[in-house]
Amino acid sequence: MDAYAWIEYLDGSPRGARVRDHIENPANTILTSAVTLAELVSRSLRTKRDPKVGITAVESNSTLHTITPGLATLAGEVHAEEKKRKQDFGLADAFVLATARSRSSKVLTGDPHFKDVPEAVMI
C-alpha cells in the first residue's frame, strides 16, 4: 500500500473509506514498504500530528516489507525506468512499485504517478 492510500485512510476521507474496505477484506493481504512508513512519519511530523498513529495503523493492518539488497536493486531499476516517462517520479514510489512487483501484488494508491502502472489499484 502506498503512502497516499495510508494518508487517506488516516484522514478518514471518502477515499480512505475505500482503503478501509480493502484493508478489512479478508481476501486481501496488505503489504507496506518500510519506505512508506518513513513517508508517513515524515508527513505526520511536518503536519504536527502524532506519528505513532500512522505507525500503529501500518503495524496493525499490514505486513511491513523490509528493504533487502535485491529489493533496493529492483527499486533502482524501476526508478530509472519510470523517470524516463515521469520526471518527478520519486525513489519512494519506486520502492513501493518494486515491493509490489517482487511479491506479484498490486499497489493501492491515488497518487497520479501510478495512473498508468499496471500494478496500480487507484482509489
Domain ranges of the chain: 3-122
The neighbour count for residue 119, using CB atoms within 10 Å, is 16
Of the pLDDT bands very low, low, confident and very high (cuts 50, 70, 90), residue 99 is very high
User: What predicted TM-score, i.e. pTM, was given to this entire model?
Assistant: 0.93
> Mean pLDDT over all residues of the chain?
96
Fold of 3-122: Rossmann fold (3.40.50)
pLDDT in tens, 40-77: 999 999 999 999 999 999 999 999 999 999 999 999 99
Instruction: Report pLDDT digits (tens) over 74-90.
Output: 999 999 999 999 999 99
